[in-house]
Structure 1
Amino acid sequence: MSERSPAPGGLELVQALVNTLDIESGTDSLDTVEGRARFALTEDELPRARELRESLRAALLAHAGHPPHREVTPLTRLLARAPLYVAVDQRDGSACLTPTDDSLHARVAVAVAEALTAGTWGRLKACEAVTCHWAYYDRSPAGRGRWCSMSVCGARAKMRRYRAKEA
């Protein structure tokens, strides 16, 4: 849906996961073998992956100043399950968070931690359009982007406001 470029670094994983569900059409790419393979998911892992996706969407809506789209499990609780450790390079002393397994929760937790460190976490947002809520990375200078696409969701919102004003 979005004409925007992918989010930087690990946030691209978060953006891609949130965008597996097209709210307007009801299409969920996690229902397909290819969609599950993209995230290395088995069918048994789908309920937890969908729970994580909707908790992430709620956080991204909050980044954009919007209330959650529905009741969700707090993201803190879901990411607390992620098995991570701090890996320190003995040669240069650099450190990074590393997942102890390849679970989706662990990979997302690392991506969020890296984005927090880089200061980019708050720029990953969800479109304010209730029929969309697509994840996008807000590259606007002021960080006040509201829609995944100015030409689609933004245009629809502006047209609704214009028609309401004219009525």
Structure 2
Amino acid sequence: MSERSAAPGGLVLVQDLVNTLDLESGADALDTADGRARFGLPEDDAAGVEAARALREALRASLLAHAGHPPHRAVVPLGTLLRKAPLVVAVDPADGSAALALVDRGPLLSRVAAAVAEAVVAGTWTRLKACEAADCHWAYYDRSPAGRGRWCSMQVCGARAKMRRYRAKRPPPPPRPAPQP
């Protein structure tokens, strides 16, 4: 739906996960084998798919908050889910550099946690937002200079919102004359 560019670095994983559900059509990529495979979810892991859906909606609520909007529905707070992410800080003995490293269990949760942590450090986390349109909430990366983007697509969601506002401001049409008998 969006013509906006992909989020930088690991945030593209977060963006892709949030965008597995098209709110307008109801299509959920996690219902398909290909969609589950994109995120490393085993075909027969119903609990893993439900956990991915809970993570997706917690992420969406955070992205809505980045854009200044209330949550779309009650969800498990993202911080609660990310606390369960098995990550370690790996330090290279040769040069002393440090990086987050994933632990084998919970690969999707760990990868998302690492992406969020890296984005926080890079200062890009709050630029990943969810579209203001209630029937969309698509994740997009706000590259606007002021960081105040509101829609995933100005041509679709932005145009619809502006047209609704325009129509709401217009005076009602004059009453039609009654037909003469």
TM-score of the superposed pair, with normalisation by structure 1: 0.98
For 1:5-60, what per-residue CA distance to the aligned partner results, in whole angstroms no more than 9, with x for missing partners? 11000000000000000000000011001000000112321110000000000000
Q: Which of residues 126, 129, 148 in structure 1 aligns to 2:133?
A: 129
Alignment of 1:62-101 (within 5 A): 62-101=65-104
For 1:34-93, what per-residue CA distance to the aligned partner results, in whole angstroms no more than 9, with x for missing partners? 000000112321110000000000000000000000000010110000000000111221
Say how many residue pairs are matched: 167
Asked whether 1:103 is paired with 2:107, we answer yes
Give the gaps of 5 or more residues in structure 2: 172-181
Matched with 1:3 is 3
Q: Which runs of 4+ in 1 moved over 3 A?
A: none
Matches of 2:148 and 2:95, distance apart in 1: 38
Matches of 1:60 and 1:110, distance apart in 2: 17
Greater Rg, structure 1 or structure 2? 2
Matches of 1:116 and 1:144, distance apart in 2: 18
Matches of 2:99 and 2:116, distance apart in 1: 12
What is the letter of the counterpart of residue 30 of structure 2? Answer: L
Give the gaps of 5 or more residues in structure 1: none
Match of 1:22, SS? coil
What is the letter of the counterpart of residue 147 of structure 1? Answer: W
Q: Which of residues 102, 112, 118 in structure 2 aligns to 1:114?
A: 118
1:152 Cα deviation after fit = 0.1
Matches of 2:166 and 2:94, distance apart in 1: 61
Between the two proteins, what is the percent identity of the paired residues?
A: 73
Q: Which protein is richer in helix relative to its size?
A: 1
Aligned-pair Cα RMSD in Å: 0.8
